[in-house]
Each structure stands twice: as structure tokens, then as C-alpha cells.
Amino acid sequence: MVIARDKRKHTIKIDYSEVAFKAFLESIKKLSPHTLVKNPVMFLIWMCSFIGIVLSIKPNIFGPTELSQIDNLVITLILILTIFFSNMAENIAKEMGKAQTDSLRIVHGDVEVKKINDDGSIEYVFSSKLEKGDMIKVQEGDLIPLDGEIVEGIATVDESAITGESSVVLKEPGTDTSTSVTGGTRVVSDWLLIKITAEQGNTYIDQMVNIAESIERKKTPNEISLNALLIASTISFLLVVTVIPVILHYLHIKYEYIYIIALLSCLAPTTIGGLVKPITISGFDKINAFNVLALTEDAIEKAGDINVLFLDKTGTITIGSRMAIEFIPTGHNSIQTVAKSAFLASFYDHTPEGKSILNLAKRYVEDVEIKKIIGKPIEFSAHTRVSGIDLENGDILRKGASDAIKKIVQSKNGKIWENTDQLVDNIALQGGTPLLVSKNNEVIGIIHLKDIIKPIIKDKFKELNLMGIKTVMCTGDNNLTAKVIAKETGVNEFIAQAKPEEKINLIREYQSKGMIVAMSGDGTNDAPALAQADVALAMNTGTVAAKEASNMIDLDSDPTKIIEIVKICRQLLMTKGALTTFSITNDISKYFAILPSIFPISGLEVLNIMRLESSHSAIISTLIFNAILIPCATPIAISGVNYSANDPNKQLTVNLLRFGIGGLIIPFLAIKIIDLIVGRFI
């Protein structure tokens, strides 16, 4: 097995030696031409090695030669080794991704769970028998078998098998990002009642496994462009090398055919040609390992070029449910009186706002007992926007929207204190929502509701601005409330009372200017804008419509994670750019090594500035360097070049200079060292 499970700690250890062994076997299988034809650079090397095999069997097939079969065979084997190293780099990246998903399969295995039946009884069934909508109970030490939503209970959950983070996460109902759980995670303490939300075979883990194991993936526009560059350069080198023998033959200059093949192999951009796929695969795996389900590789590469980020306010920038944060008494009333009246008036309000009022009121009032609440309930409705209770002792308590409560009180010729409107306006100016509390037709106080901004969101937006990404907040709130929240969070722009078509039009406007637009949202009304955006990140706690319109889904429902996504994707693009630059610039030093050896023309010896031992040694040394460069650069391709949240253009320039200069200097040193070793055996 590639992985081993530690039953005591419930962790997974990857056996890297077996990863390498599997990659080794797969790399040998992929030496066939029908596989390599998809990689134009490596297919060219394969054709060169095929001609080398012919020359190894019959050295004089194209004419007289001074080289032996062994000489030709050594060069041919090095060419085959170049192809093998390219396959190895790709397969190591693939096997690493598969090992991670195999670990998820082990954690996600069929286990016995406690299913809650409709009559409340507990039935023990295997997780493979669970269906969407089933209720299960998990306790300390239990594995959560499938994705679900928490209905009841509070517990800490170990998500390290999914996220890689060692710290446990507190999970409870009605807390936005913490209300959902993922199959494959484990309960560390207490218990949870969970409603299954995923079908068998369609969980987050299943999708990750399917993506990681997909053998063929559609090429991204960036990869297509890079392949076009590689094909164009390869064809140009092929034409040049094809013409060279004709010219030499016309000049009556003797040459070795195997050396011409070696020249073509060294000029071809083999380094980046062999590392394009490992870079892309590793970037894809990094996104998934970061707990984001990337549905297309196109989205990953576009995320690296994001210029503008649209974010829905409710549920994305803010928690999504307005929470009671303050009771404000009016007139001669006390805060305890307002709190107790608000509690009783909200007892039959089952909305998240109503529950938050109950929780806040308990801080001020301890003598309210549910069994003592006797009276006629007035349940909250969206039509009346009021809830309350007519107590048995004759008290009439109401709570609701300010205009609705005022209308009720005024219709009964009740009392509204003079400062009430001013207090209501002050709350609105702060971006909050005011609710009035009345007792016996007197407005006795105000409840301040606020859509709580998610922690550290302001710092994250600063980081986005530092990365050159413009942020735009979309909200259905009025302009005043939107302005307050925009100022508090630090977003660059905001759209108040935004309708779906307005979001789409603004996204299209930015796209028409050549900008790459990302959209992060969780609601059904966000779906059209998510579908229009180049990069669409939906929250896992969001609606089905939002998820279906997106090309990325964040399991943790953390909109600030777009920052890490951009970092990973920009690192991927910079890694490709850096290694492409290195691959092209190291050809220059190869010219100095191989040209004087191939062409015995007077005056070319001046190019032999490395003072290589002999023509044959120079050829062998250059080919060896060309081959081993791929495995040497593979760790960089998989891990990526260094990246930080600074000016991307500046970082790109630094990386290009670093790898460009490195591509000029390193080959001179490496080829000379290899030549000193090879020269002793030739």
C-alpha cells in the first residue's frame, strides 16, 4: 500500500518509496510512441532515440562513420533516459495526488453508524446504506461517513484528513461555516446530530478522488499557448538541423549522424517540455489539498490572473444572519425590562434573528422560565414582520420592524418616546437593523440587529489590494448600510440594492476591458453572476444553484480563501514562466559545448570556452546534463517557486531574471564537471 493508517491517531502516512516505485513502473510503460505523441518535444526525442537505435545496430547505414556501435548506443540510451525522466516527473506528481486521495478513501471507508429513524429509535447501519436526508448521530471517536448539515449538538471535529490542518474545529448548528461537516472527518469530543446532504459517490471526497484519478484532462488556454510555443520552437530547430547535413555535404565536411541527432535533442526545450504536466498536476492537487474542489484546470490558471473580485455580502463577507447585539431602552424604561419583554415577544420567532434575541436577553434576565410563559402566541411572519405574545396577566408584548410596530402603537393611540426615531436612525447609520419592542402599546426599547462581519475579513482585503486585486461588494442592502459595511471591511467598491442582472452587467463591463473577474457567493441570486465570472468560487454552505454555476467550491465556506487560491495559481504560472525561461536560456551554453564538437570547421574551436576533453566527451556530457536537468528541476515543478503577496509583476520579473541567469551559468559549470568525469572513461 502507498499509505498506512495510524489507528491511535487516525492519521495517514504516505509511503513515498512506493509512490516512487509506482511512478517508475508507469514511466516505463509510457515510453511507447502512442503515449508520447501527445507531448511534441518528448515525441521528437523518441524519434531521435529510434534513429539512434538503428545506428547502434548498423552504424554505417547512412554512410561511413568513425563511431562504433557502443558509441551510438550510449548516446541512444541517454536520449531514452531523457524521455524516462520526463515520464517520471509527471507520474510522481500524479502518484502523489493519488496517494492523497487513497488516504481519503481509507478514512472514508464503510463504517457502522447510528441512524435515527422517524420514530426516534436508533438503528445501526453501514455508511454505504445511508441516503440523502437520513439522520445520524455521531459521538466522540466516531467517523463522519458522508457530507452533512448539523441539526443539533456541539462538538469538536478533526478535519486533518481533509484539510491537512492539525487543529480541531468547533462545529454547531446555525453558525454558517461551522454548520456543515465533511465525510472522512472525525468527532473528537461530544456529539452531533447530522442530516446527510450528499448522495453516495457524490461527496466532496468522491469528487476529489475522481478528479485526481482522471487520466486525461482538458488542456487549459495557458497550457495550449505554452504547447504552441514548444511546438513552434521544436519545428524550427528540426528544420535547422535538417538543413545542416545538406550544407555540410555540399561543403564536403565530414560529420556524424548521431551527433546531428544529439544537437537536435539538446536544442529542443526538453526541460519545460518534460515538466509542463507535473507543474499543472501539482497545482491542481494543491488546490484540492487546500480544501477547495477545483472543477476545471482552466479556473485554476485564470485564478492566477484575477484583476477584480466580486463578493456577495450576506454569508460571504458577513455571517449571513442578523444577530442581536444590543438592547436600547427608551423613555424611563430599564434595559432589564426591554430584555425581558424582547425575550417573551421573540419566544415564538423561530428565525435566526429571533433566536439571537433570546440568547442576548438571557444575559440580562435569569428569571424567565419557559414553563411560566402562558399566553396567546403571535408567531412571526414575513407579512406582518412582527412577533409577540398576549400574556395571561394582561400584558401585550410585541417586537418587530420599526415601521410595523409604530403603526400598531399609533393605531391604539399608544406612546412613542421622542428620541425613538433618532435612535432608529443612528442604528441605520451604523449599518444595523433596528427592531422596536412595545409593551401595552408603549415603545419601551429598541433591539439593534447587525449582520456580523466575519473575523479578519478586513486584513484579508488589505492583502488582496496588496496583490493588485480590486474588491467589489454586492449587497441588497440600501446605499447607507452598504457604505458603512464597505468602509468597515475595506472593500474598494460596492453595489447597493444589487439585482442579479446588475451584477452580471458590471462583470461583463470589466471583462470587456480585458480583466479576469472572480466571483465569490453562496446564494441562488448569486448563481447568474457566478456563471458569468471567469473564476466562480461557491461556498459549500451555499445553495445548489450557486454550486452548479461555479467552477470552484470551498468546503470551508471561507470567502477569504480566494487569497490562498490566487497565491497557489500565481505560483503555478510563475513556476511555468521561470522553468520555461531556464529551459530556453540553458540552450545557449549547450551551443558552446556541442557546436565545436559537431562541426570540424576551422574557427569554431574558439566556441569551446569550457575546454571540454574531446568531441565525443562534449556530446555525451551535454546529453547527460540535458537528461538529468529534468529530475533535478522536478522538485521545483512540484513545490513551485517562492511566492508572496506582493506586486506580481515585480515577482515575475525577479523570477525570470533569476532563472534566466541561472539558465546561462549553471549549464557551463555542470557540463564541465560531467565532462571531467566522462573524459576518464572515453
Known catalytic residues are: 312
Q: Do the bridges between strand 135-139 and strand 375-378 make them parallel or antiparallel, or are there none, so unpaired?
A: unpaired
Cβ partners under 8 Å of residue 529, min gap 6? 310, 474, 500, 503, 504, 507, 519, 521
Cell triple for 457: 475579513
Distance CA 137, CA 142 (A): 9
Q: State the DSSP code for 143.
A: B
Burial of 241 (0-12, 13-18, 19+ CB in 10 A): middle
3-state secondary structure of 311: strand
Q: Is residue 318 within 8 Å of residue 482, measured between CB atoms?
A: no
Per-residue b/e over 339-357, b at no fewer than 16 CB within 10 Å?
bbbbbbbbbbbeeebbbbb
Rounded to an integer, what distance in angstroms lies between the CA atom of residue 258 and that of residue 58?
12
Q: What amino acid occupies position 551?
A: N
**How far is residue 654's CA from residue 641's CA, in Å, rounded to a whole number?**
11
d(CA 13, CA 4): 5
* Cα→Cα distances 417→329, 335, 412, Å: 10, 15, 15
- How buried is 319 (Cβ within 10 angstroms: 0-12 exposed, 13-18 middle, 19+ buried)? buried
Please return the burial class of 659, using the count of CB atoms within 10 Å of its CB with bins 0-12, 13-18 and 19+.
buried
518 and 562 in contact (C-beta within 8 Å)?
yes
